[in-house]
A and B are shown apart, each in its own frame.
Chain A
Amino acid sequence: MLTLLAITAYPLVYNLWNSFQHDVINSGVPPSFAGASNYQRIFTDHQFLPALAHTAGFTVVSVAVETVVGLALALALNQKFRGRGIVRAAVFIPWAVPTVVSAQLWKTMFDPQNGWVNYVLTSLHLPLGHTTWLAETWTAWAAILIADAWRNTPFMAIVLLAGLQVIPNDIYEAARIDGAGAWQTFWRLTMPLLRPALMVALIFRTLSSFLIFDVVYAMTGGGPGTSTSVVSFLNWQAFFINADYGYGGAVSVALVVIALMIAAVYVRVFRSEQVL
């Protein structure tokens, strides 16, 4: 356990140290103390703040989409119908696909020549049939969102389904006898009782959405230009493309701080609802 603590803590400390250094490999200048200049850079250059805005926007949209679709899926799977086991296995499979592989998979789908998306759109005489999806900002974002939602919605659904299954049936019986409609039952009964599971699913998905890296790397490489660059990708670029460890360290620290803030917000919500 101590070893683990050390292994986890070490990168954090190292990042902090780096972030106060001026350390660019191959620049010919030896590492030196740089004060807060790396932090000044991330807040004034044209990379970090746009990437942060992209990441925040993506997180909000993707989590919202995945929650709504995942909830619908969970509610559907909570009904009794023939073949439910098979359906549940089928919709759960995308979750097992490596994230970067799901990105590559959707890249094939959106490919103007070998994909089916443009083929279907043109065949049905719908607009966008001749789009080069990954070459324009908004369509690239749409493709990233679809690839991410396809892989991660099952996770949302599985956690919510587990939450639905612990709600005892007699509560629904009682509501029905009292004459509550389906809509009323859902908002007054299901949703409040589902809250703990929903919170857990939300915190997992918000954090991992915010840390998105694989999909962007594989689908767009941050492009066109830097219009789909996200914080994790910028962090990776700083280290592995530019070998600018000071700047990378500062971005890493920002990443950790924001991730902790997201977790803290959720924990507060948990506490105030006394689910923890």
Chain B
Amino acid sequence: MRKAAFRAGFYLLIAAFVVGSLFPFYWIVITSLKTPGELSGGTTSLLPGHIDFGSYSADLTQSSATGLNFGRSLLNSAIVALATTAITVVLAVLAGYALSRTKMRAKVPVLGFVLIAGFFPPLAMVGPLFLAYRHIGLLNSYPALIITYLIYSLPLATWFLANYFSQLPRQLEEAAAVDGASRPATLGRVILPLAVPGIFTVAILSFILAWNDFAFAVSFMETPDKYTAPLAIIGLGQSQFQVFYNRIDAAVVMTTLPVALLVIFAQRRIISGLTAGALK
């Protein structure tokens, strides 16, 4: 009897967690499918009304008076996030491999610095970087964001991959060397294929970091045609006319979908990346 009550309580707790996590998404989706007319009537039910995709097509095709177009913003986000991911992966593989295979005196300080850099307060970086980018004419451009995200993604990616590489057996490389393979060939043909899961983890985390940023984007991107998706969502919310939650929430859905899918399909890899520090 007591055991049954305990089990019921346990499942109730699990259900509460699931509902608490997912109900906001449900609300966003049903709000995004409403028409402005339905919204002006206020909330009268927790169930979806009739389904209307008008807010999605409006988001993707219409530009606001200031030139804000959400479709364009999504594209900007994709370009910046994919470029950050690609550069992070290439540089972190090279640096991580070097760190794991060479005896360097500076190894410990370098790794220590790497960890501190990952925590450096973004808002303390934003001002000086803004002044520097303005000086060299990088404001309002993709490179301004990409360079900034690399500051945050590269150290952790390098550290993670250095750990990953050092766990791969060294005999493989020695065998390759005996067979006459050069170092770059060994890296490309022997090490990389084995390191694919680790590289995948690093790529996903870098992508999420770049995709999710707001503080840097709001500071460096000045014209609406350069806005990233999170910035555009806030822009939609600050319209001087009436705020239509269906438009904002459609944008929220479209911004969240790619990262939510990543989490669902690559959960294991993400968790291994997030917890690498916790268990070592």
Question: Chain A: residues with CB nearer than 8 A to chain B?
Answer: 1, 4-5, 7-8, 10-12, 14-15, 18, 72-73, 76, 79, 81, 87-101, 104-109, 111, 113-116, 118-120, 150, 154-155, 158-159, 162-163, 166, 196-197, 200-201, 207, 211, 213-214, 217-218, 231-233, 235-236, 238-240, 245, 248-249, 252-253, 255-256, 259, 263
Contact with A along B111-124 (1 / 0, CB 8 A): 00100110111111
- CB contacts (< 8 Å) of B116 on chain A: these are 263
Top 9 A-B residue pairs of the complex, sorted by shortest distance between their CB atoms = A11-B128, A100-B214, A98-B212, A162-B275, A14-B128, A232-B123, A252-B124, A96-B259, A239-B127
Bound form: Cα–Cα A95–B119 in Å: 18
Identify A90's interface contact among B21, B120, B229, CB under 8 A.
B21
Check B28 for interface membership: any CB of A closer than 8 A: yes
Question: Chain B: residues with CB nearer than 8 A to chain A?
Answer: 10-11, 13-14, 17-18, 20-22, 24-25, 27-28, 31, 39, 42-44, 46, 95, 110, 113, 116-117, 119-132, 147, 151, 154-155, 208, 211-215, 218-219, 229-230, 233-234, 237, 245, 248-249, 252, 255-256, 259-260, 262-264, 267, 271, 274-275, 277-279
Bound form: Cα–Cα A154–B22 in Å: 12
Q: Is the interface of B mostly helix, strand, loop or mixed?
A: helix
Given known A93-B263, A200-B278, A263-B119, contact A98–B211 (CB-CB < 8 A): yes
B121 touching A256, Cβ below 8 Å? yes
A-B contact pairs, 6 of them (CB 8 A): A11-B128, A11-B129, A76-B13, A159-B278, A232-B122, A245-B131
Seed contacts A93-B260, A213-B122; 15 additional CB < 8 Å A-B pairs: A10-B132, A15-B124, A91-B21, A95-B263, A96-B259, A96-B260, A97-B260, A98-B213, A104-B252, A154-B21, A201-B278, A213-B123, A235-B124, A253-B124, A263-B119
Give the shortest distance, in Å, between B131 (CB) and chain A (any CB).
7
Give the shortest distance, in Å, between A273 (CB) and chain B (any CB).
14
Give the shortest distance, in Å, between A88 (CB) and chain B (any CB).
7
Beta-carbon nearest neighbor of A106 in chain B: B24
Q: Is the interface of A mostly helix, strand, loop or mixed?
A: helix
Bound form: Cα–Cα A115–B130 in Å: 37
A104 touching B129, Cβ below 8 Å? no
B110 touching A214, Cβ below 8 Å? no
Give the shortest distance, in Å, between A178 (CB) and chain B (any CB).
21
B113 touching A232, Cβ below 8 Å? no
B17 touching A87, Cβ below 8 Å? yes
Beta-carbon nearest neighbor of B264 in chain A: A89
- CB contacts (< 8 Å) of B279 on chain A: these are 162-163, 166, 196-197
A91 touching B17, Cβ below 8 Å? yes
B43 touching A114, Cβ below 8 Å? yes
Beta-carbon nearest neighbor of B42 in chain A: A113
A12 touching B124, Cβ below 8 Å? yes
A245 touching B278, Cβ below 8 Å? no
B24 touching A100, Cβ below 8 Å? no
Identify A93's interface contact among B14, B21, B44, CB under 8 A.
B21
B95 touching A104, Cβ below 8 Å? no
Q: Give the interface centre of A97, A119, A235, A256 by most chain B CB atoms within 10 Å.
A: A97
Beta-carbon nearest neighbor of B38 in chain A: A114
B214 touching A255, Cβ below 8 Å? no
Identify B27's interface contact among A11, A91, A109, A255, CB under 8 A.
A109
Bound form: Cα–Cα A232–B123 in Å: 6
Give the shortest distance, in Å, between A61 (CB) and chain B (any CB).
18
Bound form: Cα–Cα A186–B27 in Å: 37
A239 touching B124, Cβ below 8 Å? no
- CB contacts (< 8 Å) of A201 on chain B: these are 278
Identify A10's interface contact among B46, B128, B262, B264, CB under 8 A.
B128
A107 touching B214, Cβ below 8 Å? no
- CB contacts (< 8 Å) of A87 on chain B: these are 14, 17-18
Given known A72-B13, A98-B212, A211-B121, contact A116–B43 (CB-CB < 8 A): yes
A14 touching B132, Cβ below 8 Å? yes
B21 touching A159, Cβ below 8 Å? no
B262 touching A197, Cβ below 8 Å? no
Bound form: Cα–Cα A27–B259 in Å: 44
Give the shortest distance, in Å, between A94 (CB) and chain B (any CB).
5
Q: Give the interface centre of A118, A235, A238 by most chain B CB atoms within 10 Å.
A: A235
